[in-house]
């Protein structure tokens, strides 16, 4: 066939082009869920545009192939286990609670590097060419999509889809453009950057209180205690166990008095039980997913037989928002939304049938589950975010969502799901967080210590040591075994204490990195190759990584042996924050400061509130010319004043002058309001 392999592409923005299969009328394509707003073409692409997808029809549907040149490294594809570098891997964009098949054939709800699909759905590939220039490929579809990276980029979908290509002089430019198109995180509250303690489940209320007291009596920093599903009455969403949690408002008050915040879990599935008001109301108002004959669909989840809300309906989202707002009236500080791939619990591997109907409305056209499955988590997170905004308009929402879709960072942070207490999973924490960051989601982290199984003392200590430098720092585990910082004896407790001291001292710098993510779309945790995208030797480094632009983190993540790290050019000087010595205690990553950088660190504390109040220290690493510079972002750490300019962005500079280092403020961005007040 000599026909064109695609239609004349449209230029959506500078160096952003959309390609549509030749036999498809673009006006018939479904709306984009990834883009924050519809992007009409503004012109045609320049003649020298090189990255062009070739569309063809096969038995499997529509295939788009994009050839890559030699030394092109591929990343992204969202939440994937295994190495950072994705060349040679096949991923399926299909949100899923993964199951691992054990040697004896039993299915266990975890994952490994062979799992093609995990909880999140990111139809996105980042390609870094040999010369360090880059491009990104966004398959703008919510349907199941195959991403085959064994020979270039091959995308397969049963339904026609457009491909958006972003060109950039560097991977940083492409990732920032992805943020501009699909949205960026909002500034999180300070406390969300603190250490968080979770368990499936802390129960009853007295255990939660005891845990809170224990953190304070042992002087171990902690900001958040998480309440998992046992607080509910028989796992029924929006209910409370009358014996275990008779007064959830009182539980929250108690935590608040000790300086903690609380995050409580909500699952989407509603127990199908007449007389349970949430279910009865859902039935009466038509909120649940039904099949083509209009029969409500039920699956087996935590509470047993349950119905799933149809979040494509604006009325259902409004209902969820209302119910969640009511729930939040008891003083919860954040919400954790789970099982929203959506996942039945039994039988293992079960999914909602593709034929179920989503009724949509308000700009979302009716469609089947095959079409809306991948955005179920995003729509649930959006409705929950709305509830947080309605119930406390003066405070920043915090939502953690297990499932989400490309662009969903607008509504929720995430974690890497049900991992395992193993050294492999400890290592994967790094590439998983990095690839999520390269896919637009900068706010993520693993269950520290592993969700399934019990870590050894050594493994737990290494995970605590590493987690201090990942964006989201939460310990979580399943029913068996205690997993608190003191559960593995004094040596691991001591490592945890030092790891936490390092985290809490670094908060001013970390918060500045979050500000950069919110403002530009750059990840908080970044791959080492960002330091020099043209240096091919850095492309597969996925033990060491960068935090923001100036700090390198070199963790030891091997059970046996010592990891050697690739190093970019330049002087990266090691520094200590809490008297740690990574040379003798390998659980603590080595931290290095880029030459030419200045970073702000605080005095630490038991909570983020304390840590952000303390005095600042500037760490300065002069470059070969005797100069350095760096930035500090500050705001109230809560509320939205920063949007009206209530923040301070300071640029520091240092110069070596006649043997003396002179540090000064080079620039200070202040709001018009506060400068008027001054
Ligand atoms: C799921 C979540 C896990 C949670 C459990 C009980 O497995 O991934 O984090 O603890 O459900 O709610």
In order, the DSSP letters of 326-348 are HHHTT---EEEE-STTT---BST
User: Domains in the chain and their CATH numbers?
Assistant: 2-182 (2.60.40.1760), 514-677 (2.60.40.1180)
Tokens at 67, concatenated: 């050839």
Better-scored residue on pLDDT, 232 or 104: 232
Ligand 1 midpoint to CA 338 (Å)? 7
C-alpha count within 13 angstroms, C-beta hemisphere, residue 337: 28
Per-residue pLDDT band at 676 (split at 50, 70, 90): very low
Q: 59: buried, middle or exposed (CB in 10 Å: 19+, 13-18, 0-12)?
A: exposed
Atom 4 of ligand 1, nearest CA residue: 200
pTM of the model: 0.97
CA-109 nearest atom, ligand 1: 7
Q: Is the pLDDT assigned to residue 220 strictly greater than 50?
A: yes
CA of 50 to the centre of ligand 1 (A): 45
**Residue of 400, 415, 418, 453 best suited for mutating to test ligand 1, as the one with most atoms within 8 Å of CB:** 418
Q: What angle do CA 505, 509, 512 make, to 5 degrees?
A: 140
Angle ∠(260,263,267) on CA atoms, nearest 5: 165
What average pLDDT does this structure show over 276-305?
Answer: 97
Whether the per-residue pLDDT at 3 is higher than 60: the answer is no
The CA distance from 10 to 16, in Å, is: 9
**Closest atom of ligand 1 to CA, residue 228:** 12
Say if residues 133 and 169 touch (Cβ distance below 8 Å).
yes
Evaluate if residue 272 carries a pLDDT over 60.
yes
Q: Which three-class secondary structure state does DSSP give residue 175?
A: helix
Among the residues of 262-418, which ranges form H helices? 277-284, 314-328, 369-372, 376-391
* Structure-block tokens of residue 138: 């966004």
Q: Ligand 1 pocket: which residues have CB below 6 Å?
A: 200, 228-229, 265, 338, 402, 417-418, 451, 476
Residues forming the active site: 338, 341, 418
Sole residue written with tokens 């430098």: 469
Flag whether pLDDT at 445 surpasses 70: yes
Nearest-atom number in ligand 1 for the CA of 201 is 10
Express as a percent the part of the chain with pLDDT over 90: 93
Left (φ > 0), alpha (ψ -120 to 50) or beta: where does 33 sit?
alpha
Nearest alpha-carbon partner for 319 in 361, 260, 349, 275: 361
Which residues pair with residue 261 across a beta bridge? 224
3-class SS of residue 165:
strand
Residues 6+ apart with CB under 8 A from 482: none
Q: Which residues pair with 62 in a beta bridge?
A: 57, 157
Q: Which of the listed residues 227, 231, 338 should we mutate to test ligand 1's pocket, taking the one with most ligand atoms within 8 A of CB? A: 338
Tokens of 58: 């096969």
Instruction: Tell me the pLDDT tens digit for each residue of 66-121.
Output: 999 999 999 999 999 999 999 999 999 999 999 877 788 777 778 999 999 999 99
- Does the structure show a pLDDT above 50 at 1? no
Segment 232-256 shows an average pLDDT of 98
- Closest ligand 1 atom to 402 CA: 8
CA of 344 to the centre of ligand 1 (A): 12
pLDDT tens-digit series, residues 369-406: 999 999 999 999 999 999 999 999 999 999 999 999 99
Closest CA to 238 of 352, 317, 346, 325: 325
DSSP code string of 226-268: EE-GGGSBTTBTT---TTTSS-HHHHHHHHHHTT-EEEEEE-S
- What's the mean pLDDT in 606-627? 97
H or E element, residue 181: helix 171-182
């Amino acid at each position: 066939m000599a026909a064109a392999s695609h239609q004349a592409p449209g230029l959506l923005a500078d160096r952003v082009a959309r390609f549509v299969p030749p036999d498809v009328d673009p006006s018939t394509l479904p709306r984009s869920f990834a883009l924050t707003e519809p992007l009409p073409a503004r012109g045609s692409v320049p003649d020298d545009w090189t990255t062009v997808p070739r569309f063809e029809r096969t038995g499997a549907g529509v295939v788009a192939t994009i050839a890559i040149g030699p030394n092109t490294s591929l990343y992204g594809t969202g939440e994937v286990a295994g190495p950072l570098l994705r060349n040679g891997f096949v991923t399926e964009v299909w949100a899923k609670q993964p199951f691992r098949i054990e040697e004896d054939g039993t299915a266990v709800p975890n994952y490994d590097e062979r799992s093609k699909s995990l909880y999140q759905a990111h139809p996105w590939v980042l390609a870094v060419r040999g010369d360090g220039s880059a491009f990104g490929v966004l398959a703008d579809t919510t349907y199941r999509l195959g991403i085959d990276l064994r020979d270039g980029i091959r995308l397969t979908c049963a339904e026609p889809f457009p491909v958006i290509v972003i060109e950039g002089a560097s991977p940083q430019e492409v990732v920032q453009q992805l943020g501009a198109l699909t949205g960026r995180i909002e500034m999180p509250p300070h406390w969300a950057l603190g250490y968080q303690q979770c368990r499936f489940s802390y129960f009853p209320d007295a255990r939660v209180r005891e845990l809170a007291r224990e953190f304070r009596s042992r002087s171990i920093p902690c900001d958040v205690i998480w309440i998992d599903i046992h607080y509910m009455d028989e796992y029924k969403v929006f209910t409370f166990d009358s014996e275990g949690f008779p007064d959830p408002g009182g539980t929250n008050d108690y935590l608040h008095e000790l300086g903690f915040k609380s995050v409580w879990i909500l699952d989407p599935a509603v127990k199908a039980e007449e007389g349970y008001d949430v279910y009865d109301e859902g039935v009466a108002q038509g909120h649940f997913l039904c099949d083509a004959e209009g029969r409500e669909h039920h699956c087996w989840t935590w509470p047993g037989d349950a119905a799933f809300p149809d979040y494509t309906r604006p009325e259902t989202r409004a209902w969820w928002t209302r119910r969640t707002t009511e729930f939040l009236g008891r003083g919860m500080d954040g919400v954790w939304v789970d099982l929203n791939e959506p996942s039945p619990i039994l039988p293992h591997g079960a999914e909602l049938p593709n034929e179920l109907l989503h009724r949509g409305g308000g700009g979302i056209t009716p469609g089947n589950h095959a079409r809306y499955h991948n955005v179920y988590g995003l729509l649930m997170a959006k409705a929950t975010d709305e509830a947080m905004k309605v119930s406390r308009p003066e405070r920043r929402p915090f939502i953690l969502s297990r499932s989400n879709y490309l662009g969903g960072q607008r509504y929720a942070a995430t974690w890497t799901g049900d991992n395992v207490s193993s050294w492999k999973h400890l290592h994967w924490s790094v590439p998983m967080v990095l690839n999520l960051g390269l896919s637009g989601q900068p706010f993520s982290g693993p269950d520290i210590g592993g969700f399934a199984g019990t870590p050894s003392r050594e493994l737990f200590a290494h995970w605590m040591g590493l987690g201090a430098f990942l964006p989201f720092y939460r310990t979580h585990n399943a029913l068996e075994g205690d997993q608190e910082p003191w559960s593995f004896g004094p040596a691991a407790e001591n490592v945890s204490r030092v790891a936490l001291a390092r985290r809490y001292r670094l908060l001013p710098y970390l918060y500045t990195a979050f500000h950069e993510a919110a403002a530009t779309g750059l990840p908080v945790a970044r791959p080492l190759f960002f330091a020099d995208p043209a240096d091919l030797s850095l492309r597969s480094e996925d033990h060491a990584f960068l935090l923001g632009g100036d700090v390198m983190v070199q963790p030891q993540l091997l059970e046996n042996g010592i990891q050697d790290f690739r190093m970019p050019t330049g002087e990266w000087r090691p520094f200590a924050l809490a008297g740690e010595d990574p040379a003798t205690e390998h659980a603590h990553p080595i931290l290095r400061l880029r030459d030419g950088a200045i970073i702000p660190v605080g005095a630490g504390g038991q909570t983020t509130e304390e840590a952000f109040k303390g005095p600042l220290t500037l760490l300065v690493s002069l470059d070969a010319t005797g100069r350095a510079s760096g930035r500090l972002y500050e705001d109230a750490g809560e509320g939205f004043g920063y949007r009206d300019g209530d923040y301070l962005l300071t640029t520091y500079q240092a110069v070596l002058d006649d043997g003396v280092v002179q540090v000064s403020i080079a620039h200070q961005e202040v709001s018009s309001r506060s400068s008027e007040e001054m």
